[in-house]
A = this chain, B = another copy of it.
Amino acid sequence: MNFRSDNTAAAAAEIVAALTAVNDKPAPAYGEDVWSRKLNEAFSALFEREVRVFTVASGTAANAIALASVTPPWGAVLCHREAHIECDECGAPEFFSGGAKLVLIEGEAAKITPAALQEAIVRNARGIHSVAPSVVSISQTTERGAVYKPEEVAAIGEIAKRAGLATHMDGARFGNAVAALGCAPADVTWRAGVDLLSFGATKNGAIAAEAIVCFDLDRAEEIARRRKRGGHLLCKGRYPAAQFLAYLEGGLWLKLAARANALATKLGAAGAAHVSTPVESNQVFIKPGAEKLAKLRAAGAEFYDWSPGEARLVVSWNQSEADIEAMCRLLASL
Interface residues of A (CB under 8 A from B): 2, 4-5, 7-11, 16, 19-20, 22-30, 56-62, 64-65, 72-74, 87-92, 94-95, 97-102, 126, 128-132, 202-203, 207-208, 222, 224-226, 228-236, 239-240, 316
- A239 proximity list for chain B (CB < 8 A): 11, 207-208
What would 9 more interface pairs be, CB under 8 Å, given A30-B128, A73-B91?
A4-B29, A62-B231, A87-B126, A90-B130, A90-B225, A94-B94, A128-B225, A207-B236, A208-B236
CB distance from A123 to the nearest CB of B (A): 11
- Tell me whether B90 and A229 are in contact (CB under 8 A): yes
Of B57, B59, B99, B234, the contact of A94 (CB 8 Å cutoff):
B99
Whole-angstrom distance from the CB of A127 to the nearest CB of chain B?
9
Q: A53: shortest Cβ distance to chain B, in Å?
A: 16
23 contacts between A and B (CB under 8 A): A4-B28, A26-B316, A30-B128, A57-B208, A58-B232, A60-B233, A73-B229, A88-B130, A89-B129, A90-B129, A90-B229, A91-B101, A91-B229, A92-B229, A94-B101, A95-B229, A99-B99, A101-B102, A128-B225, A203-B235, A207-B236, A208-B208, A230-B230
**Cβ contact within 8 Å between A207 and B16:** no
A30 to chain B, nearest CB (A): 8
Whole-angstrom CA separation of A90 from B65 in the bound complex: 15
Asked if A231 contacts B26 (CB within 8 A), the reply is no
List the 8 shortest-distance A-B pairs measured between CB atoms, nearest first: A61-B231, A94-B99, A57-B57, A7-B235, A60-B231, A98-B98, A8-B26, A90-B228
Please state if B57 and A29 are interface contacts (CB–CB under 8 Å). Answer: no
* Bound-state Cα–Cα, A240 to B240, Å: 13
Report B-chain residues with C-beta under 8 Å of the C-beta of A226: 74
Taking the closest CB of chain B, its distance from the CB of A82, in whole angstroms, is 12
Q: How far is the CA of A101 from the CA of B94 in the complex (A)?
A: 8
A202 smallest CB distance to B (angstroms): 6
User: Beyond A8-B28, A225-B128, is A91–B95 a contact (Cβ under 8 Å)?
Assistant: no
Query: Is the CB–CB distance between B233 and A128 below 8 Å?
Result: yes
CA–CA, A46 and B129, complex, Å: 30
Which B residues are CB-close (under 8 A) to A132?
225
Nearest CB of chain B from residue A29's CB, rounded to whole Å: 4
Query: Taking the nearest CB of chain B, how far is it from the CB of A165, in angstroms?
Result: 16
Contact residues in B for A10 (Cβ distance below 8 Å): 22-27
